[in-house]
Amino acid sequence: MFLQKAEVLPGGVRKLPHVTLARGESTGHCHRIRERGVAELFAAPGGDLYLRVTGETATLVHEEHGPIALGPGLYRSWIQREYSPEAIRRVID
């Protein structure tokens, strides 16, 4: 999963009822915001996610690395993909 600052929330997004950015298909681990009420998550056409941090800080947690503090603002998140001659596929956690 990649995360970078974004300027604008694109058109056609839908608000999600959770703040889980990615869930590992093989491990079940997930990248999620720990605190409640400090962020909103939106799904964009094409699969990208947009995280809007509305609180002073939001903590991105995952079982395999330390917490990451995110400041207020908008972030774009996408799943890493890898190329093989057969197909382009998502990288599985």
Answer yes or no: are the C-beta atoms of 67 and 19 closer than 8 Å: no
pTM above 0.85, yes or no: no
Residues 6+ apart with CB under 8 A from 30: 20, 21, 22, 23, 24, 62, 63
pLDDT digits (tens, 9 = 90+) for 13-60: 999 999 999 876 655 678 899 999 999 999 999 889 999 999 999 999
Contact between residue 2 and residue 78 where contact means Cβ atoms under 8 Å apart: yes
pLDDT tens digit sequence for 49-87: 999 999 999 999 987 778 999 999 999 998 765 555 665
Q: Give burial (CB, 10 Å; 0-12/13-18/19+) of 59.
A: middle
